[in-house]
Amino acid sequence: MTRRNTDTTTLIQNVLNGDRRALARLITRVENRTPDAQTALAQLYPHTGRAYLVGVTGAPGTGKSTLVNAIARALRSRDQTVGIVAVDPTSPFSGGAVLGDRIRMNDLTGDRGVFIRSMANRGSLGGLAATTSDVVRVMDAAGFDVILIETVGAGQSEVDIARTAYTTIVIDAPGMGDDVQAIKAGILEIADILVVNKADRPGVQNTVRALRAMLELGHRFRTIRHHGEFMIQQDAPQQDTAQDTAQDAPEYDFWPVPILETIALEHQGIDAVIDAIEQHRAHLHESGMLADRERLRLEAEFAARLRDELLRRLIAERTPAEVAALVDRMVAREIDPAQAVALLVEGE
Ligand SMILES: Nc1nc2c(ncn2[C@@H]2O[C@H](COP(=O)(O)OP(=O)(O)OP(=O)(O)O)[C@@H](O)[C@H]2O)c(=O)[nH]1
Ligand SMILES: [Mg+2]
């Protein structure tokens, strides 16, 4: 065995034993996508799937980090260990927002039952989603009971990251501008729990009303969509075939999305949020949807990774000049984009 292999084996063992320094080291390697990180992830994988994943997303400045901090503290008082992954695609790794998150969350530092990791954008957003899944899995293997994943609900990739959770909390706050604009329908659609934070500010009831109206407009039923959502979706579980339209959704699928008010800064309303997470978890469990979600999650991740890998391989086989030549021909109206793709794939 080489020294590197021995190192990796020890590192994996230490992570499984909950060693924080090993955890931090491995996560750094995962972020850097080192070859030994791939080995470690594969070996840790059988030890994952136990943590309960909660996504927290919403517009910038709504109070996601403050709420995550408050939820983590409340979970700790219920004797649960907590991993936190804060994804901040807009800031460079050493940027202010990441530091800000650390400062705001520092009343949790020193507690060995909490582990916080901030991640910034490295490379493409697709890459960030994959890396986030890997980091979450490392924390899962390390034995944290709950993993909170904070993302800014600004783009598709962030929404995809939030979607990897079992329970997704979408957060809004009064005074964020037009309430209907503040949360795009796409983000609202993934909400299992809606939180209106900054309930100490004027306009809370307007925000609550706007959200309730949007929910009633067509998001009342949250169904697992088996068709059209993911690239790979051949054998949907039998019991769900009648579920493609909300009207047909059987009773077990119904989850009334609660709208909760919090003042995260003062830790007010947090117990109700945790109770709602617990209720949603029980609902997923009893309805069998927990297993469905896990399966969908893995399928979606598989599809995304496959897309990235195929694209990477295809592009690697072509020179930049070949790609540029195709773009030139599109600009000259000689070929349309679909033809350009066909030519690239067929290796013209
Ligand atoms: N008045 C009031 N302010 C709050 C509350 N919760 C958070 N804030 C403040 O709102 C600001 C933004 O809070 P953050 O927790 O950083 O919000 P965020 O959504 O994580 O922000 P980004 O990660 O930058 O998108 C901070 O100045 C908080 O102190 C609250 O309940 N009431
Ligand atoms: Mg934040």
The verdict on domain 48-292 having CATH code 3.40.50.300 is yes
- Which residues fall inside 5 Å of ion ligand 2, going by CB? 64-65
Q: Using 70 as the pLDDT threshold, list the residues of the chain that sit under it.
A: 1-5, 89-109, 121-126, 154-158, 162, 177-185, 218-252, 348
Ligand 2 centre to CA of 59 (Å) is: 10
Predicted local distance difference test score (pLDDT) of residue 242: 42
d(CA 44, CA 148): 20
- Cβ of 66 closer than 6 Å to ligand 1, yes or no, is yes
- Cβ of 152 closer than 6 Å to ligand 1, yes or no, is yes
Residue 111 phi/psi, 5-degree rounding, is -90, 115
- Cβ of 63 closer than 6 Å to ligand 1, yes or no, is yes
Burial label for 296, CB within 10 Å (0-12, 13-18, 19+), is buried
- Cβ of 151 closer than 6 Å to ligand 1, yes or no, is no
- Cβ of 174 closer than 6 Å to ligand 1, yes or no, is no
- Cβ of 118 closer than 6 Å to ligand 1, yes or no, is no
Burial label for 312, CB within 10 Å (0-12, 13-18, 19+), is exposed
Ligand 2 centre to CA of 79 (Å) is: 25
Q: Whose CA is nearest to atom 32 of ligand 1?
A: 198
- Cβ of 283 closer than 6 Å to ligand 1, yes or no, is no
Ligand 2 centre to CA of 104 (Å) is: 9
Ligand 2 centre to CA of 152 (Å) is: 7
**What is the phi-psi region of residue 270: left when phi exceeds 0, alpha when psi lies from -120 to 50, beta otherwise?**
alpha
Q: Whose CA is nearest to atom 21 of ligand 1?
A: 61
DSSP-derived secondary structure letter, 260: E
Q: Whose CA is nearest to atom 1 of ligand 1?
A: 198
d(CA 34, CA 26): 10
Predicted local distance difference test score (pLDDT) of residue 121: 58
Number of neighbouring beta carbons within 10 Å of residue 221 = 16
The CATH 3.40.50.300 domain(s) of the chain lie at 48-292
Predicted local distance difference test score (pLDDT) of residue 241: 43
Residue listed under structure tokens 């995550």: 68
Which residue from 192, 163, 220, 172 is spatially nearest to 280, judged by alpha carbons? Answer: 192
Predicted local distance difference test score (pLDDT) of residue 231: 37
d(CA 200, CA 210): 18
Ligand 2 centre to CA of 248 (Å) is: 38
The pTM of this model reads: 0.83
Question: Does an H or E element contain 236, and which?
Answer: none
For the CA of 116, the nearest ligand: 2
Ligand 1 centre to CA of 66 (Å) is: 6
pLDDT tens sequence across 265-324: 999 999 999 999 999 999 999 999 888 888 888 898 899 889 888 988 888 888 999 999
Residue listed under structure tokens 């910038």: 60
Which residue from 213, 211, 149, 217 is spatially nearest to 174, judged by alpha carbons? Answer: 211
CA 294, 139, 272, 219: dihedral to nearest 10 degrees? -30
Ligand 2 centre to CA of 64 (Å) is: 5
Predicted local distance difference test score (pLDDT) of residue 80: 97
For the CA of 265, the nearest ligand: 1
